[in-house]
């Protein structure tokens, strides 16, 4: 029970990495606020947690809206008495995978930055404020990407993840005197989460997974559960002296 009694928020909890992480957090004893822009998806994850004997509260929130993020954190504190961990997981892909920089529209740019960077900025900002009010530290986890570590995944999308990485490191340094830790998980290709399909990558999912796996030295695609396991560790006291880390969950992709 690595997170027993912890009050946690997971954004994008209705699917993919968010759903897998919410389930794992709850399995380790956390009380989870399952936030997603789609209430029905958040409710589905919360029901799965409760069916397994855990504690979860579903909520609909748009992380690109600062007022909604403030309300989200306030709800977690109201429900659980405090906030211990926030996992800023929400992200959207490049609208058309394979698009060159010059192919991106102003709307593409604004949407990617508003959600991918804005959600992490607002979530981190208001989590830090809550942690300082509580006075005993806290944990921030962000979903970055290998695309923010190497030139892969689309120029604008990669730029948003590079911004997430720099925000993570800055918050880690600023938060350290207050016992606040901040780390980011950086996944490689995840064909089974629907994220790549949302970016326009079509074809049989198993075939896409096979091609994706071939890019990873370990020879396997990355799963939502891989990321969830990393998130549980970073959220726990087992990672008490780890902060400012950009952790690749990539089968060795960036080590080549």
Long-range contacts of 168-172 (CB under 8 A, 24+ apart): 168/120, 168/140, 168/142, 168/144, 168/244, 168/246, 169/244, 169/246, 171/124, 171/128, 171/140, 172/243, 172/244
The helix-helix angle for 118-134 and 155-175 (nearest 10°) equals: 10
Say if residues 159 and 104 touch (Cβ distance below 8 Å). Answer: no
| Nearest alpha carbon to residue 162 among 144, 140, 174, 141 | 144
DSSP character at residue 117: I
Say if residues 107 and 128 touch (Cβ distance below 8 Å). Answer: no
Rounded CA separation 120/61 (Å): 14
Give yes or no: 157 in active site: yes
| Nearest alpha carbon to residue 145 among 66, 62, 250, 3 | 250
Tell me which of 87, 157, 192, 253 is the catalytic residue.
Answer: 157
| Nearest alpha carbon to residue 62 among 23, 81, 36 | 36
Residue positions annotated with a catalytic role: 157
């Amino acid at each position: 029970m690595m997170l027993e009694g912890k009050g946690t928020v997971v954004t994008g909890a209705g699917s993919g990495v968010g759903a897998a992480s919410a389930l794992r957090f709850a399995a380790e004893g956390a009380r989870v606020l399952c936030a997603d822009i789609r209430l029905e998806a958040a409710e589905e994850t919360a029901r799965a947690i409760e069916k397994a004997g855990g504690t979860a509260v579903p909520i609909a929130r748009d992380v690109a809206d600062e007022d909604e993020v403030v309300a989200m954190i306030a709800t977690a504190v109201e429900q659980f008495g405090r906030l211990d961990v926030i996992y800023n997981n929400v992200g959207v892909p490049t609208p058309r995978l394979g698009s060159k920089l010059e192919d991106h529209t102003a709307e593409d740019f604004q949407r990617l930055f508003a959600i991918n960077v804005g959600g992490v900025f607002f979530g981190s900002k208001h989590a830090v404020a809550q942690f300082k009010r509580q006075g005993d530290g806290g944990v921030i986890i962000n979903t970055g990407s290998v695309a923010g570590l190497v030139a892969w995944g689309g120029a604008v999308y990669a730029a948003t993840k590079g911004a997430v990485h720099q925000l993570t490191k800055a918050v880690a340094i600023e938060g350290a005197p207050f016992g606040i830790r901040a780390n980011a998980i950086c996944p490689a290709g995840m064909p089974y989460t629907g994220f790549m399909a949302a970016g326009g990558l079509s074809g049989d999912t198993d075939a896409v997974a096979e091609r994706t796996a071939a890019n990873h030295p370990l020879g396997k695609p990355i799963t939502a559960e891989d990321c969830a396991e990393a998130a549980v560790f970073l959220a726990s006291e087992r990672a008490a002296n780890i902060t400012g880390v950009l952790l690749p969950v990539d089968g060795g992709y960036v080590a080549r």
